[in-house]
Amino acid sequence: MTYTEDDYLMISGIQHFVFCRRQWALIHVEQQWAENEHTVIGKIMHEKAHDPYLREKRKDVLISRALPVVSRKLGLTGECDAVEFHKCEDGIRLFGHRGEYQVFPIEYKKGSKKYGLEDILQLTAQVLCLEEMFSTSIPFAALYYGETRHREKIEITEELRNKVEEITEEMHEYMKKSYTPMVRKNKACRACSLKEICMPELEKTISVKGYMKKMLSEEKDG
C-alpha cells in the first residue's frame, strides 16, 4: 500500500504516539497544543540544528541540515535534524560530489537518554524514509542528547523497522477515524505539555473536542 500526500503524517508525531497515544491524538487529530519548559528547550535545539548557515563539510563527511524526507509506503513526512553523508566505497552518489556516500541521520534531543523507545523509533522512521528516497540501506543512525552532549549510535534492527510499520499503521487508523483515546494517568503526565487541556478528571467518556462542543452547546442553550 502507498499513501497519497493528503494522508501523510508527521514523523515527529511518532515520539508523541509512543509516549502517549492520547497526547498524539490531541496534537495531531484534535489540533491541540501547549508549550512548557521541555517543549521550548526542545524547539531551541531543533532551530539550532536546522540553521541553514550550519552546512558543513568535514574531510570526507558532508552534513545536511533540516533535510526534508518522505515515505509513500509509510505515509510519513518531516525533516531530519542532520544527515551525514560519509564517503565510502559502496554507497550512493550525490549530485555535485565525487565518489559514493553512506547515509547517517542524526536526531537531536534536548534531554538525556530515555528509558522508552520513542526517540529510537522516531529515528528509525527517518531511516526508513531516507532508505526509500535514496534506494539504499542504512544500518546505523544516531541520537544526540543536548543535556549530556552525547551522541549515541543506534543499530536499526529489523525489530525496530517492524515496530515503526506497526505504529504508523495504527496512527493512520486513528487519524482516519478521528479517534482520541481515553486518559490513562501515570507519572509521566506531570511533564506533559498538554496536561492542562487533557482534563483527565473529565475525560472518562468523551474526547476533549467532544467536551468543548458540549460546553459550547450548553452555553448557547443557556
3-state secondary structure 62-117: EEEEEEEEEECCCCEEEEEEEEEEEEECCCECCCCCCCEEEEEEEEEECCCCCCCC
The number of folded domains in the chain is: 1
Name the residue with higher pLDDT: 205 or 7: 7
Look at residue 49 in the predicted model and tell me its pLDDT.
52
Burial of 86 (0-12, 13-18, 19+ CB in 10 A): middle
In a domain, 48, yes or no: yes
Q: How confident is the model at residue 54 (pLDDT cuts 50, 70, 90)?
A: very low
pLDDT at residue 37 in the model: 38
CATH number at residue 142: 3.90.320.10
In a domain, 160, yes or no: yes
| C-alpha to C-alpha distance for 104 and 63, rounded to whole angstroms | 9
Say if 77 falls within a structural domain.
yes
Q: Is 210 contained in some domain?
A: no
- pLDDT category of residue 56 using cuts at 50, 70 and 90: confident
Winning range, highest mean pLDDT, from 64-68, 91-95, 100-104: 100-104
E strand or H helix at 11: none
pLDDT given for residue 220 in this prediction? 55
Query: What pLDDT, on the 0 to 100 scale, is given for residue 24?
Result: 92
> Cα(111)–Cα(74) distance, rounded to whole angstroms?
28
The reply to whether 200 falls in a domain is: no
Q: Is the pLDDT of residue 121 over 60?
A: yes
Q: State the average pLDDT over residues 30-41.
A: 55
Q: What's the mean pLDDT when you consider all of the chain?
A: 83
**Residue 151 included in any domain:** yes
Distance between CA atoms of residues 116 and 126, nearest Å: 18
Determine the pLDDT at residue 187: 79
Distance CA 55, CA 64 (A): 6
**pLDDT, position 217:** 62
Burial class (CB in 10 A: 0-12, 13-18, 19+), 11: buried
Instruction: Say whether pLDDT at 93 is over 70.
Output: yes
Q: Provide the domain limits for residue 78.
A: 5-182
Residue 202 lies in a domain: no
Q: At what angle do helices 158-177 and 118-134 cross, to 10 degrees?
A: 100
Instruction: Give per-residue pLDDT as tens, 106-120.
Output: 999 888 888 789 999
Asked if residue 198 belongs to a domain, the reply is no
